Amino acid sequence: MGKKKTDSDEIATPNAGAVANKDLMQRMNFLYQVASHLSQQPCLPEESEKPSSDKRDRGKRKGSLQDLAGFHVRAIKTIGNKSMVKIDPSVKRTICKACNIVLIPGQTSSVRVKSSKSHRFVRNQTCHNCGWVQRIPCPPRPQLDEESKDARKDEGSSSSRATDMSRREQRNARQPPLFEREGHVIYTSNDMGKTTQVFREDNMAGNPESAS
């Protein structure tokens, strides 16, 4: 007679609802959404008020909504450092390192693509609040698989210049970053009817058991 299979013998499947520090990740996600909303709000006009007679009010600096957004982002970093919860690189790159506001292209920052000797092209994102510039290499072209290479050979090139360009693209093709590859573990949450993929704890790809 064979032994009965127990629950421990079955392969454990990753469960997004049973993750460690779920409440902290939800709190960090909420703070990020608040900081993103406050960063998009226009600056309030300064009201011409009479100087206060109270000595305690003199010399105090009035904060803006951008300062409040930076306060929430600093709270996210503090929670992540104390609980060892890492922020996903795609989210970390949207935060200004100088004033800690959320960088939104066209609203709180401007984006320009410039040439670079080492990375071909670099994306410069300038913060409108403090002037800090973030320089990130542009995403690489994905490496062509065998089917796409054969299809391109069958089509042929109309000119020698197009052939040289295709060869140059194949030579300069690189693998995408780790967090954009298939199999990268990212925690998900389906609370409030929305699916969020913002924060993670493990940086290992293709190993969902390590995230549990």
* pLDDT per position as a tens digit, 142-186: 655 555 555 555 555 455 555 665 566 555 566 666 667 776 655
Reduce the DSSP state of residue 59 to 3 states and report it.
coil
Q: What is the pLDDT of residue 204?
A: 41
How far apart (Å, rounded) are the C-alpha atoms in residues 174 and 98? Answer: 31
Token pair recorded at residue 168: 């140059």
Q: Hunting for tokens 């199999």 — which residue is that?
A: 183
Rounded (10°) angle between helices 65-83 and 22-40: 160
How far apart (Å, rounded) are the C-alpha atoms in residues 43 and 128? Answer: 12
* The one-letter amino acid at 172: N
* The one-letter amino acid at 11: I
Tens of pLDDT along 73-101?
999 999 999 998 888 888 999 999 999 99
| Mean of pLDDT over the chain | 72
Q: What is the pLDDT of residue 127?
A: 93
How far apart (Å, rounded) are the C-alpha atoms in residues 80 and 77? Answer: 5
Reduce the DSSP state of residue 27 to 3 states and report it.
helix
Reduce the DSSP state of residue 189 to 3 states and report it.
strand
Tens of pLDDT along 133-143?
999 988 766 65
CA-to-CA separations, 123 to 83, 97, 139, 151, in angstroms, rounded: 32, 16, 9, 32
Q: Tell whether pTM > 0.75.
A: no
Q: What is the pLDDT of residue 179?
A: 65
Question: Is the pLDDT confidence value at 103 over 50?
Answer: yes
Q: Where are the domains of the chain?
A: 141-174
